Amino acid sequence: MNVVKSKSDARIPVAVLGATGSVGQRFVQLLAGHPWFRLAEVVASDRSVGRPYFQAAEWRLSASMPQDAAELAVKDYDAALESPVVFSALPGEIAGAIEQRMAREGRALFSNTSTHRMAPDVPLLIPEVNPEHAAALDVQRQIRDWSGFIVTNPNCSAIHLVLALKPLHDAFGIDALAVTTMQAVSGAGYPGVPSLDMIDNVVPFINTEEEKMTEETKKLLGGFDGAFQPACLTMSAHCNRVPVRDGHTECVSIRFASSATPHDAARVMAEFRAKPQELDLPSAPKHPVIVRTEPNRPQPNLDRDAERGMATTVGRVRECALLGTKFVLLGHNTIRGAAGASILNAELFKVEGLLPI
């Protein structure tokens, strides 16, 4: 692959697939001014192709569109890309073939799409949680005969849950957990959820979400020994859509394998630090899990932007008569829950010398 670098800019050129959609816009926003990556290419569906990004994308984030992105001409999915690193915010229906082609062409493909998440040779990665799963790329290369690779990040409700669970699982072992989510509408993209379903209403159902949360949580907390070994825990999820723009709230009850008080649980979550913090990755939150002690936190409006949307906020850690420990957690679903997660994965790969450049 022939990588063209800007003379005056030593940063790695990156492309965003599905750049005009909701998550695509977040990628564009979060990549603006990134110290290591330069947004070089925006890729979207036919009707946008050739137009400058500011015309093609109906920008719907409250922060303004980054100046550099505005003038990029939108490329189509078949275009030959210059970027060795590619972020995917593609719709699930079309992601499979396009993402695989990118990997075949030798690119590092970081995908937010669910298509490849549960594949037996694709890492589903959270740098704080299971960086060692990157080893699965050896298997991937062997099986697929790709010079590049595909790495995925989790579903927007799974990632925040697992960030809170990881230090608990390491310290006490998680036997069983029950989670009920109250998820924001931005998780469904745009146009997404009709306003007639959300004004003065709750929808107690999100298609395949409960299944995704459960299987992804087990993969993320599990091991890799040549194959993924899902964590042995019993999990049940209720997923709901509520009239909130951004920020998924989750009520969690847990049974630990070893004894732990709510105070112990709060402590290990608050003290949790991992690889991204040690490596001081540009998008890493200083505290991956923030534990609040007020009786009525976390709340979407007050806590979703904590650590620039990259942290999970936990509150109300207390006894659960049924499972032992319960709490509430909240995280930004399109930053740490989507685009930010993908970018953090790429940052980890950069530091570890795994990018194809």
Instruction: Give the x-and-dash track for 251-290 against a copy of itself (CB under 8 A).
Output: x-x-------------------------------------
Structure tokens at 55: 């015309």
Judged by CB under 8 A, the stretch of 41-49, 55-63, 82-90, 278-286 that binds a copy of itself is: 55-63
Residue 313 identity (one-letter amino acid): T
Active-site residue among 156, 169, 239, 287?
A: 156
Q: Does 304 bind a copy of itself (CB under 8 A)?
A: yes
Please work out the total of residues on this chain that contact a copy of itself, with binding judged by CB under 8 A. 63
DSSP code string of 118-136: T-TTS-B--TTT-GGGGGH
Least CB distance to a copy of itself at residue 169 (A): 16
CA distance 168 to 266: 9
Contact set for a copy of itself, span 177-206 (CB under 8 A): 177-178, 180, 182, 185-186, 190-205
C-beta of 244 vs 355, nearer to a copy of itself: 244
- Choices 7-15, 126-134, 148-156, 245-253 (CB under 8 A): range interacting with a copy of itself: 245-253
160 catalytic residue (yes or no): no
Q: State the distance between the two ends of the chain, measured CA to CA, in whole angstroms.
A: 10
Cα–Cα distance measured from residue 120 to residue 55, given in angstroms and rounded to the nearest whole number: 40
Going by DSSP bridges, is the β-strand pair 85-88/108-111 parallel, antiparallel, or unpaired? parallel
Catalytic residue status for 239: no
Q: How far apart are CA 334 and CA 247, in angstroms?
A: 8
Show the CA angle centred on residue 352, arms to residues 347 and 357, nearest 5°: 80
Q: How many residues does the chain have?
A: 357
Which residues 225-244 are close enough to bind a copy of itself by CB under 8 A? 234-236, 238, 240, 242-244
Q: Nearest Cα to 9, choosing from 46, 39, 51? A: 39
| Tokens standing for residue 243 | 């009239």
Distance CA 305, CA 303 (A): 6
Query: Minimal distance in Å, beta carbon 243 to a copy of itself?
Result: 5
Active-site position among 133, 160, 169, 248 = 248
Judged by the rule CB under 8 A, the positions of this chain that interact with a copy of itself are 22, 59-64, 176-178, 180, 182, 185-186, 190-205, 207, 214, 234-236, 238, 240, 242-245, 249, 251, 253, 295-302, 304-306, 315-316, 320-323, 326, 328
Give me the active site residues, please. Answer: 156, 248
